[in-house]
Amino acid sequence: MEHMPYSQIQKGTLLIATPEIDMGIFTRSVILVCEHNPNGSFGLVINKTLNLELPEEILNVNNIANPHVGIKAGGPVQTNQMMLLHTSDAIPHQTLQVCEGVFLGGDLQFLQESVANQVGPQIHLCFGYAGWGAGQLEREFLDGHWFICPASPRYIFNVTSEKLWPTVLRDMGGRYATLSMIPEDLSLN
């Protein structure tokens, strides 16, 4: 049986930037689609690490015992807004399940308890998001700006930010695997 390409954008889809996108935050980005409906879409860039200090009342670096906490640039929209992407199903009334084993949401108490727990959930603190109006993401996909594949906790939490873009493409196989080897700086080619 021939492998059918993944071709439907939905919640739990990864958007993988094509090499044509070569400027800004979307260059070699991998975005987790968190919501997609006829009114529009929003997602979080999951492979752009941020180095920033947070106010102690949000996250006291002296209380971080959980080794699985990362800070990400979630996208160019509302970059002062923090969203929690994590693996905990402990607070279903506060979270949206994005795909199997991956949840979006939670409050400050959940965050502080999770980062203070050595065996707490894997967490990405995402600042900002990517958003599209009605039909915009579909047009970008049809215009060849994005490849898509199903998301998984492995891609979201277990592959380093630097290796995520080529890893997903390589795992997709075929022509995608070939694209994964394109150097970021084409002058090195």
pLDDT value at residue 56: 78
Would you state the pLDDT for residue 185?
Answer: 65
Q: What is the pLDDT of residue 1?
A: 30
Distance, in Å, from the CA atom of 141 to the CA atom of 52, rounded to the nearest integer, reads: 32
The pLDDT score that the predictor gives to residue 26 is 96
Q: Which helix (H) or strand (E) holds 126?
A: strand 123-133
Output the tens digit of pLDDT for each of the chain's 189 residues: 334 445 689 999 999 999 988 889 999 999 999 999 999 999 999 999 998 777 777 777 677 899 999 999 999 999 999 999 999 999 999 999 999 999 999 999 999 999 999 999 999 999 999 999 999 999 999 999 999 999 999 999 999 999 999 999 999 999 999 999 887 765 555
Torsion, CA 163, CA 168, CA 171, CA 176, rounded to 10: -110
Among candidate residues 137, 124, 110, 128, the one with its CA nearest the CA of residue 35: 137
pLDDT at 51: 85
Beta bridge partners of 36: 41
